[in-house]
Structure 1
C-alpha cells in the first residue's frame, strides 16, 4: 500500500512538472501577443501616432502572430510535453510518439463521425459533439483533457515498449521504432471511443463550470486559496491547468468563435478587436490579476517584516535571501522562495496567507480588474494592464497591492514577535552548530584539496557536491528531476537527508512526502543545480 501511494505521488508530481514546459512557452507567447496586439491596436496608435508607421505595424503584428503559436497548438504541445517529461530515457522518441498518438486519435474521431454520417457543418451536431478543427482535421475538441490522456497513454506505452523485441522478420520495427507505431494503434482505437463518451463527459465538465460560475466572485476566492494550499505538495499545476484550459474556467464566444478555458479566452480576446464580453471578463477572474495583491504587495510586505524581526547582527546575512525572494516573486511570479520561509515554521500562518491570496482574487473580481495571463508579476501588470489601456483598470492594482503590503507586514510582524517564530535571522545561537559548521567547512576544503581544485558553484551560490552529500549521497537517489523551484526526488531513505545542512547550503526548505518521495526547495536556479547534481551521479 505504501509503495502504491508513493508511486501515485511520484506520478502526480511528475505530471504536474510536465505542464511547465508548455506553460513556460505560453507565458512567453502571451507576452509577445500582449505587446504586439496592444501596440498595433487603434486605441494605442491613435494616442501614439509614431506607431502608425508601416515598420512598427509589421513588427508588432509579427509579434502578435508569433504569440499565437502556443495558443493555437496548445493541446498538441501538451500531448508531446507530457511523455517528454515523464520519460526517463529516449525523451525525443517519447515526444515524437505523443504527436503521432494525438494525430492518430483525431483522425480516428474524424473517421467515426464521417462513417456515422454526422453533418460536420450542422450547428446542433457541432454543439453536441464539440466538433472543431484540430490540426486541420474536423474532429472533437477534447482540449487539454484529451491531450493529457494522450500524453499519459503514450508515456506508459513508451516505458513498456521502448525495448520491445520483434521476430527477425520484423526486427526493423522493434525497439524505439515500435513506440510511435503502438502509440498510433492504441490512440486510434481510443479515438473511436471518444465520440461515444465525450458528449456525456463534456456535459459534466460544463456542469462543473456552471457550478463554479454560480458562486460568483467566490469562485475565484476558492481557486486562489486552493492553488496556494496545493503548492507545498506540487499539485497546484493540475488545478491551475483545469481552470486555464477547460470549461471549468469558463467558456463563451470570442469574436464569433466558441472558446473554453480562462486563459484561452483571454488570449483569444487579445487577438480580437471588439470589446470583451461578460464571459471573457468573468473567466479572467481566475488569472493573474487575482495574484497581484499578494505577489506585488503582500509577500514583499511579509519579507520586510521578517527582515525587521531578524536580529540586527543577522540582517546583513539574510538581506540577500529576502531580496532574491522578493525579486523572484515580483518579477518572475515565483513565490516559493518566500512562502517556504514560514510554511514549515508556522503552517497556520501559511493558511492565513492562502486566505489572503483568495481574498486578492475576490477583490480583483469585485473591482472588475481585467489583466489576464498567468504569472501575476509586474511584467503582466505592465504588458496586459498598462499597455492595454484604462479599460483593464490597471491603476487599481497598486492601490490593492499597497493595502495587502500593509496587511501582510503588520500581520507577519505581530505573529513573528507574538509566537517567537524562528524566521530567517531569528534562529537561536548554538555553539554546537558553529562547531559543526567549522568541521563541515574543513571537510569541504579537504575534499577540494583531494580533487586539486575548489568546488564549482552554481550561480555563485550552490555547491552541488555538498548538496548531493547532504541528500545522502548518490546511492540514496533513485530518480532526480525538478520543477520551477524545487528538486523532486525518489530516494532510498528520506531519513538520510540532512535538512539543516541543506538549508545552510542554500535550500529554502525540505518536504518529505513519505520515506521515498522528497522535494528540496532551491529557488529559480533549481534547473542548474539539478543538472550539476545529475553530472555527479553514476551513469546508468
Structure 2
C-alpha cells in the first residue's frame, strides 16, 4: 500500500511542475499591466498593455484548465505500460464522465440537491458548485474528480490494455477496449458522484470556515506535517487539497491567488484580512530563510580542510532551494546521517510560518524567491510594504535561529554532516563542474555515453533489470521497487554515479538524483525495455 501511495504522490509532480513557469508569467504580466507601478505606458489600450494582455491570457492556461492538466498528466506517472495511450484514454473517459454528470443533473438536478440552473463558478463570493470542463457544464469536482477518474482509468488500462480479443473483434482491442469498459464504468460513477459530491461540497464549506478561523495553530500543524512527511513522499497528500483543491478556497490557493492578484494589488486592506487562506501557503519561508541557516551551520561545523568541498555542495543546493523552492538536494545532505535534524527542521519551519502569519504575512509563498518577486513583492509592494518588510525581518531572525540551533545540535551530538565524516570515509561531494566534466568525457565516444550513463549505473547498482519491479519519480527522486533488496550496491556506488543519497525502506528504494530525474527515469525505463 505504501508503494502505491508513494507512486501516486510522485505522479502528482508531472503536472505540478508547470506551475513554476506559468505562475511566473502570470505575475510578470500582471506587473507590467499595472499603471500604478509603470505609469501611463501600462494604461489600457497602449501597445505595451496589449502585448502583455496577450501574454497574460496565455499564462492562465494551466490555472484555468487544472482538471484537464491532471487528467492527462497523472497517467504518465501512474500507468505501468503505454503511458501515452493511457493519457488519451483518461481524457476520453473523463470527458465521458462529465457528459454523464451533465445529463443526470439536467434531467433531475433537484433530486440531488443541485440547482443546475446556476452559472458555473463563484458569484458574489458564493460558489455554485458547478464548473465548465472542456465546454461541459458539470459538478465542480476539481482536482479530486480528475484524480479519481485518472486513477480508475489507469487501473483499467493496466488490466485490459493488452487483453487479446477474438480476431473479428480486433478493432476493439487496446485503447478502444479500455475506453469501452470505462464508458460503462462511468455511468454508475457519475451517478455516485451526483449523490455524494454535493454533500462533500457542503463539508468543504465547513472545513474552509474551520481552517480559515483556526489561525496560527492551524498554520503550524499544516506546515509541520508538510515538512516532516517529505522523506516518505506523503507530503503531497497534505498540501494538494490546499494548494490544488478547494480545502480553504475555491479552485485551490495557487489558482485563487493568481486570479485575484489584481484585486490584492490595488487594495490597502491587510493581505491577511483579504486572503486568510494564505497562511497555508507560507511553506516557502523555510526554503528561503531556513535553508540558508542550515547551510551556514553545516559549513561552519565542517572540518577546516573540508570546508571548500562542502561549500561546493552547499552553494548550488542552497541557491536551488532559495530561488526555486526545491529543497531536497539540501535537505537530503543531512537527512540520512542525522534524521533528528530533519525533525528539528520541521518544527522550526512550522514555527517560522506560524510566526509570519501571526504578524500579518499572507500570500502565495510556497516556492522560492523567483515566485516571491513575481507573484508577491513586485505587484503588491506599493500597497503592502510594511507586510513584506516585516516578513524579511522575521525571516532573517529565523535564519539566525536555524544557524545556532543546527550548529549547537551538530556539535553537541557530533552528527556526521558533510565535512565531518570519519577520516577513513570517502568525502566525495559532486559539484556542477564534476558533472560537466564527466559528461564531456562521455561525449567523446557514443558507446561510452550509453555504457557510462547515470541511468545505467543506477540500474546496475539496483541489481539489474531482473531485480526491478516498478519505477517512477518525483521532483528530485527516482523511486524504484525492487524484488530483492539484498542485491543492491552500497550507497557509495550510487553516489559515484552522481546520486545525492539513497533512501532504503525494504523493497522501496529512493535514489536522490536532483532536478534531472525525469530524464534519468526516461532513460532508465528505456534500458529496462531494451533488456
Query: Quick check: 1:371–1:381 contact (8 Å CA) kept in 2?
Result: no
Query: Quick check: 1:129–1:199 contact (8 Å CA) kept in 2?
Result: no
Task: Give TM-score scaled by structure 2 length.
Answer: 0.87
Separation in structure 1 between the aligned mates of residue 418 and residue 65 of structure 2, nearest angstrom: 44
Gaps of 5+ in 2: 428-437
Shift, 1:162, TM fit: 0.5
Separation in structure 2 between the aligned mates of residue 466 and residue 194 of structure 1, nearest angstrom: 47
- Which is further off, 517-526 or 176-185? 176-185
Equivalence for 2:156:
157
Shift, 1:492, TM fit: 1.6
Matched, 1:204 2:203: yes
> Out of 492, 495, 501, which is 2:486 matched to?
495
- Counting only pairs closer than 5 Å after superposition, residues 284-323 of structure 1 correspond to structure 2 as 284-287=278-281, 290-323=282-315
What is the Cα-based RMSD across aligned positions, in Å?
A: 3.0
- Which is further off, 466-475 or 121-130? 121-130
- Against the structure 1 CA distance between its residues 312 and 475, is the aligned structure 2 distance closer, same or farther, given a 3 Å change threshold? farther
- Against the structure 1 CA distance between its residues 164 and 109, is the aligned structure 2 distance closer, same or farther, given a 3 Å change threshold? same
Matched, 1:428 2:422: yes
> Out of 322, 325, 339, which is 1:330 matched to?
322
Gaps of 5+ in 1: 1-7, 252-258, 435-444
SS of 1:512's equivalent?
Answer: strand
Equivalence for 2:182:
183
Matched, 1:480 2:471: yes
Shift, 1:122, TM fit: 5.0
- Against the structure 1 CA distance between its residues 343 and 81, is the aligned structure 2 distance closer, same or farther, given a 3 Å change threshold? same
Query: Quick check: 2:129–2:140 contact (8 Å CA) kept in 1?
Result: yes
Shift, 1:335, TM fit: 0.7
Equivalence for 1:539:
530
Shift, 1:108, TM fit: 0.9
SS of 1:422's equivalent?
Answer: coil
Shift, 1:293, TM fit: 2.9
Equivalence for 2:435:
none
- Against the structure 1 CA distance between its residues 475 and 66, is the aligned structure 2 distance closer, same or farther, given a 3 Å change threshold? same
> Out of 248, 253, 259, which is 1:262 matched to?
253
Equivalence for 2:102:
110
Matched, 1:359 2:351: yes
Query: Quick check: 2:14–2:76 contact (8 Å CA) kept in 1?
Result: no
- Against the structure 1 CA distance between its residues 530 and 104, is the aligned structure 2 distance closer, same or farther, given a 3 Å change threshold? closer
Q: Deviations over 1:134-179 (max 9, x none)?
A: 3222211111111110110011011111123334443211222222
Separation in structure 1 between the aligned mates of residue 344 and residue 511 of structure 2, nearest angstrom: 23
Shift, 1:518, TM fit: 0.8
Separation in structure 2 between the aligned mates of residue 318 and residue 504 of structure 1, nearest angstrom: 16
- Which is further off, 29-38 or 185-194? 185-194
- Which is further off, 153-162 or 86-95? 86-95
Query: Quick check: 2:121–2:128 contact (8 Å CA) kept in 1?
Result: yes
Matched, 1:244 2:236: no
- Against the structure 1 CA distance between its residues 125 and 74, is the aligned structure 2 distance closer, same or farther, given a 3 Å change threshold? closer
Shift, 1:327, TM fit: 1.6
Equivalence for 1:510:
502
Separation in structure 2 between the aligned mates of residue 93 and residue 103 of structure 1, nearest angstrom: 16
SS of 2:361's equivalent?
Answer: coil
Q: Where has structure 1 moved over 6 Å in runs of 4 or more?
A: 123-129, 276-279, 451-454
How many residue pairs are counted as aligned between the two chains? 503
Shift, 1:188, TM fit: 3.4
Equivalence for 1:439:
none
Separation in structure 1 between the aligned mates of residue 454 and residue 16 of structure 2, nearest angstrom: 29
- Which is further off, 502-511 or 170-179? 502-511
Shift, 1:228, TM fit: 0.7
- Against the structure 1 CA distance between its residues 125 and 331, is the aligned structure 2 distance closer, same or farther, given a 3 Å change threshold? closer
SS of 1:501's equivalent?
Answer: helix
Task: Give TM-score scaled by structure 1 length.
Answer: 0.85
- Against the structure 1 CA distance between its residues 106 and 263, is the aligned structure 2 distance closer, same or farther, given a 3 Å change threshold? same
Separation in structure 2 between the aligned mates of residue 167 and residue 536 of structure 1, nearest angstrom: 33
Separation in structure 1 between the aligned mates of residue 29 and residue 155 of structure 2, nearest angstrom: 40
Query: Quick check: 1:97–1:179 contact (8 Å CA) kept in 2?
Result: yes
Separation in structure 1 between the aligned mates of residue 524 and residue 89 of structure 2, nearest angstrom: 29
Per chain length, whose mean CA-contact separation is higher, i.e. which structure has more relative contact order (CA < 8 Å, sep 6+)? 2
Equivalence for 1:130:
129
Shift, 1:317, TM fit: 2.1
